[in-house]
Structure 1
Amino acid sequence: MSNTKNTSESQSSRETRNSHDSHESHSPTEHAADGDRPSPIEVLRQARDQLAELTGLAPESVSSFEQTEEGWSLEVEVLELARVPDTMSLMASYRVELDPEGQLTGYRRVRRYERGRADARGGR
């Protein structure tokens, strides 16, 4: 009888340990809480998602991306006004700033242009 009791107690303690161990495993989204910085691709995805949620505009591409002392800075191209033909659609570039964990801290439209037009300014 005591052997049965010991077996059930040890089985119970194993289940408790296994349950505790599974709670200690880290999911991929927990890395920022551990002090790790998100990867550049995670930052890029977060920036696009957060900008889309705030503006209601769907990002089409990211034209610049850099890590700064304050976090991250991106320039995101969005379709602001669809027109026919598509080359006449109005596009906009938004400067998006994020903190080191990838949370959006600010954005602003830096230019607006027709999709089919080349820049007269050379580099931008």
Structure 2
Amino acid sequence: MAEKRTGARKSSSDGDDGASSRKAPSKKAPSRKTPAKRAAPKAEAPRRATATQVAARAAQQLLELTGKEAEGVTGLGRADDGWTVEVEVVEVRRIPNTTDVLALYEVTTDDHGDLMGYRRLRRYTRGTPGGE
């Protein structure tokens, strides 16, 4: 009987039961560390704004600076370093509104639509023909 026990022990240590309880030496996994350039994705440059976004943003920023309500965007064009937007605003409200005083502003923005500068091109009464 002693042999059977020894044999049983031997078979249990050499068999599947013993192998499953012991871990096989594992190969070292390749390092997943990457150079710093790849570890963090490169910050992409902000996307250029669309013409519609630039026009809306220019009118909003002009309102914030002047306190004058935009009547509409009357012109929009690409410039070398951004955009040029023409915004018509109500300078003075009157009754009747056909006598309101309007002004045409030229707003310059960068490629992303951020205001770089503005200037008033002309003032006129609503409904008067202009030198367009």
TM-score, normalised relative to structure 1:
0.68
SS at 2:62 equivalent: helix
- Is 2:108 the partner of 1:91? no
RMSD: 1.4
* CA distance in 1 between partners of 2:63 and 2:46 (Å): 27
Tell me the residue number matched to 1:115.
126
* CA distance in 1 between partners of 2:46 and 2:68 (Å): 31
Which structure shows the bigger proportion of residues in helix conformation? Answer: 1
Larger of the two Rg values belongs to structure: 2
Tell me the residue number matched to 1:42.
53
Gaps of 5+ in 2: 1-40
The amino acid across from 2:101 in the alignment is: L
2:62 to 47, 51, 54: 51
The amino acid across from 1:86 in the alignment is: N
Tell me the residue number matched to 2:117.
106
1:77 to 82, 88, 91: 88
Greater than 4 Å deviation, 4+ residue runs:
none
The amino acid across from 2:77 in the alignment is: E
* CA distance in 2 between partners of 1:45 and 1:62 (Å): 8
Give how far 1:35 is off.
Answer: 3.7
Tell me the residue number matched to 1:28.
none
* CA distance in 2 between partners of 1:116 and 1:84 (Å): 14
The amino acid across from 1:64 in the alignment is: G
TM-score, normalised relative to structure 2:
0.64
